[in-house]
Structure 1
Amino acid sequence: MDTLVLRVNGMSCTGCEHRIGTALRRVDGVRDVSANHTTGRVEVRIGPELADRGVITQWITAAGYVVVTEGTQ
């Protein structure tokens, strides 16, 4: 099992953490989600059947948040 750590902008409260967690737990292969609005970090534990960071990013974006990639703020 792998852990994917992402920096996410737009989280401002525990409700945001819950919203991201709820969205990502719907994705096949996601085993656990830990989101922290204070640090802007989302940790996603994924099984071997889901190795695509893009899928996780799409779900976070669809929930209304921005995944920060290298070179963006």
Structure 2
Amino acid sequence: MKNVIFKVHGMHCDGCAQIVQSVLKRREGVQTCAVSFAQGTARVLFDPVRVDESQLQAAIEQAGYQVEPHRDASGTVA
């Protein structure tokens, strides 16, 4: 399993965070995710064999939000 944190721009309320979380949870290979409107982040634990970071980023972008390069749980830009 791999843990990444995406910086998500364009969320205006908790409802936006719920949309992002719903989009991510529907992706095959996503184990858990937590999206914070207040912090503007999405933390995702996923199976890199079944889904990769670019697919997760694309899912968020298709929902209408902008995504900065993500960081893994250690803070390293991936």
Please list the CA deviations of residues 10-66 of structure 1 after superposition, one character each: whole Å capped at 9, or x if unmatched.
Answer: 112110111011111111100111001111111011024235210001000011100
CA distance in 2, matches of 1:59, 1:8: 12
Residue 28 of structure 1 is matched in structure 2 by 28
TM-score (norm 1): 0.86
Gaps of 5+ in 2: 71-78
Q: Which amino acid aligns with 1:41?
A: T
Once the 2 structures are TM-superposed, how far is the Cα of residue 7 of structure 1 from its aligned partner? 0.5
Contact preservation (8 Å) 1:12, 1:38: no
Question: Percentage identity across aligned positions?
Answer: 29
TM-score (norm 2): 0.81
Gaps of 5+ in 1: none
Q: Count residues in correspondence.
A: 70
CA distance in 2, matches of 1:23, 1:33: 10
Alignment of 1:41-60 (within 5 A): 41-50=41-50, 52-60=52-60
What is the SS of the residue equivalent to 1:69?
strand
Deviating above 4 A after TM superposition, structure 1's stretches of 4 or more consecutive aligned residues are none
